[in-house]
Chain A
């Protein structure tokens, strides 16, 4: 594990290069007068994906090696220093402005709160990915590490997420190259801070100066944001870009100039290059633009259709490399979604159904068992479980008070509140808009834009963090509504009590996991000892596997979090891929033969999740048990985990 100092240095190198490069690009494409904080934000918004796309180019051509990556950053530094050095002045000006706000602003308490929150997030990010970072360890960090090991961005057929847009993961590759997971986590934290800043910008520009700090506090104190800023996910980056897109969309509606339309398109494109969930946002803003164009026909100022076309075309162009890559590799640009339309390699109708069932199971309500669910009449199926009409109507209440329903069941009730909850301030403040006579124009646009996104979320996958960008859009109107009641006697008391209470709760939620990381952060505990505590039994099992000689691979069941595994590996659960056709295997020998064909020698099982009750899993477990009984697999238990090793000589070279 690289030292914390090396991780910080790696992060600073990436961030400064991005800032300089973005500054250079900003100077080329936009000479309009922007305030220093906006220039800073846009420089990073452009520079970070610019570097990521360059890493992707290296990855697709097989040059994903440290010397090339270092050369890339150095080239970026040279270009950036030549053309974009002025942003360093902006950085200093921004820091001075922040210091001024902390000292003199009437809202300085809120600024101090944001500072403490940011500090806690950074401290969290300084400890290597642990228990709170499921998707980081399973997907985002893991695929970046495997690509770095392969020196290329190759399809990982056991892992369908590797076909998703991976702009942020390209930056994680850079972080992992020298700084380990901590450098990657700091990159994600930077996106978290940028998202908070973008919410402030949205509020200041479209809801009034006084709304900026409260909007940032409302957004940052969402437990979801505290959690997602401190791990290695990609939601904060998507939220950042989608918030920028709304800033420019509103600006474009207000004063229809091509530059604003292009900025909006660029932000939407970058959002879609980070996460597929940006596509509905692109759709909603495009349709909204079309509607406004129609409403304003013959009026001045209208909304020129060609600007809307330019907006969509730029968004599509920027995001396209990822979708084209997926189309070429899998036959499906949005793999593995829309399987019925596009199909997809190493995927099947059955897997698509299981995937859809899992997504429909999130939310307040219980779906019938899978087979029964798919045999229901279409209308009954559409309104089953979390989509029961009363649950749909009460979803804002459910999401606020029952957050654990809107994530995977493994989270547990308390973590649902501390990590996956949007907090109570949206439900508390947004309805106050109904009691205000004069509402800002931006709210009308935002409200109508959020409505279809909310319906989309309700009908597809009711997973709390999938709605995060819309929460970022809603934080400024929530702050505006709260601000209106700050002028009244009882409203003032209630808003202040609510903000103070939620702020304390949110700071506690971010700080709580720090207590476990403190010995490591203070140098009193090694990274290995920390990770053993964070990932009990799993981390020791992975270390044991890393210590085994040879290049034979590992197959894992019920446990996708394999980032710390250095050997070649693949996920084995039948829902993930079709590399192993378990239903055609009738004996332990068939299974072992298939393993040998893929260069696998070790089996890792997390018995907490495998085999469970699924018949397909039980079949695999029976085959494994048969091989163990015949002495062809040797078992070594690690608590809930078990490592099985093929006896005899090592197998063929790993695939």
Chain B
């Protein structure tokens, strides 16, 4: 059976701001950045 097309495209839903996502991303990048910074400081 042929799949029916919808006549009306679904309205784009703006993703809710996921504070967990943002917090996790900030934490991960912060840790890696401090690690690399400390390493560069150790080199000098």
A binds B: yes
Contacts of B22 in A (CB 8 A): 490
Q: Give A494 to B22 CA distance when docked, in angstroms.
A: 9
> What sequence of 0s and 1s flags, for each residue 18-33 of chain B, a beta carbon within 8 Å of any chain A beta carbon?
1011111111110110
* Cβ contact within 8 Å between B29 and A498: yes
In the complex, which residue of chain A has the Cβ closest to the Cβ of B38?
A: A401
> What sequence of 0s and 1s flags, for each residue 415-432 of chain A, a beta carbon within 8 Å of any chain B beta carbon?
011000001110111011
Name which of B27, B28, B38 has the most chain A CB atoms within 10 A of its CB.
B28
Q: How large is the interface on A (under 10, 10 to 19, 20 to 34, 35 or more residues)?
A: 20 to 34
Q: In the complex, what's the smallest C-beta–C-beta distance from A125 to chain B, in angstroms?
A: 25
* Cβ contact within 8 Å between A435 and B20: yes
* Cβ contact within 8 Å between B29 and A494: yes
**B21 touches which of A400, A488, A505 (Cβ 8 Å):** A488
Q: How large is the interface on B (under 10, 10 to 19, 20 to 34, 35 or more residues)?
A: 20 to 34
**B28 touches which of A404, A417, A489, A494 (Cβ 8 Å):** A494
A:323-379 near B, CB below 8 Å:
none
* Cβ contact within 8 Å between A402 and B18: no
- A498 and B32 contact, Cβ closer than 8 Å, known pairs A416-B42, A417-B38, A489-B15: yes
Q: In the complex, what's the smallest C-beta–C-beta distance from A503 to chain B, in angstroms?
A: 11
Q: Give A221 to B23 CA distance when docked, in angstroms.
A: 24
**A427 touches which of B18, B21, B31 (Cβ 8 Å):** B31
**B31 touches which of A402, A428, A490 (Cβ 8 Å):** A428
Q: In the complex, what's the smallest C-beta–C-beta distance from B15 to chain A, in angstroms?
A: 7
Contacts of B23 in A (CB 8 A): 435
Q: Give A346 to B23 CA distance when docked, in angstroms.
A: 56
In the complex, which residue of chain B has the Cβ closest to the Cβ of A500?
A: B32
Contacts of A428 in B (CB 8 A): 27-28, 31-32
Does any Cβ of B come within 8 Å of A543's Cβ? no
Contacts of A402 in B (CB 8 A): 38
Q: In the complex, what's the smallest C-beta–C-beta distance from B16 to chain A, in angstroms?
A: 11
Does any Cβ of A come within 8 Å of B11's Cβ? no
Does any Cβ of B come within 8 Å of A549's Cβ? no
Contacts of B38 in A (CB 8 A): 401-402, 417
* Cβ contact within 8 Å between A432 and B28: yes
Q: Give A485 to B27 CA distance when docked, in angstroms.
A: 12
Contacts of A494 in B (CB 8 A): 24-26, 28-29
Contacts of A416 in B (CB 8 A): 42
Contacts of B24 in A (CB 8 A): 432, 435, 485, 488, 490-491, 494
Q: Give A427 to B28 CA distance when docked, in angstroms.
A: 8
Q: Give A493 to B27 CA distance when docked, in angstroms.
A: 12
In the complex, which residue of chain B has the Cβ closest to the Cβ of A404?
A: B42
Does any Cβ of B come within 8 Å of A5's Cβ? no
* Cβ contact within 8 Å between B31 and A491: no
Using a CB–CB distance below 8 Å, which chain A residues touch chain B?
400-402, 404, 413-414, 416-417, 423-425, 427-429, 431-432, 435, 482, 485, 488-491, 493-495, 497-498, 501-502, 505
Using a CB–CB distance below 8 Å, which chain B residues touch chain A?
15, 18, 20-29, 31-32, 34-36, 38-39, 42-43
Beyond A417-B42, A490-B21, A491-B28, 6 additional contacts (C-beta under 8 Å) are A404-B42, A417-B38, A432-B24, A488-B24, A494-B28, A501-B36
The 7 closest A-B pairs by CB, nearest first: A494-B25, A413-B42, A424-B35, A490-B25, A428-B31, A488-B21, A494-B28
**Can you sample 13 A-B contacts with CB below 8 Å?**
A400-B31, A400-B35, A425-B32, A428-B31, A432-B24, A435-B20, A435-B23, A485-B25, A488-B21, A489-B15, A494-B24, A498-B28, A501-B32
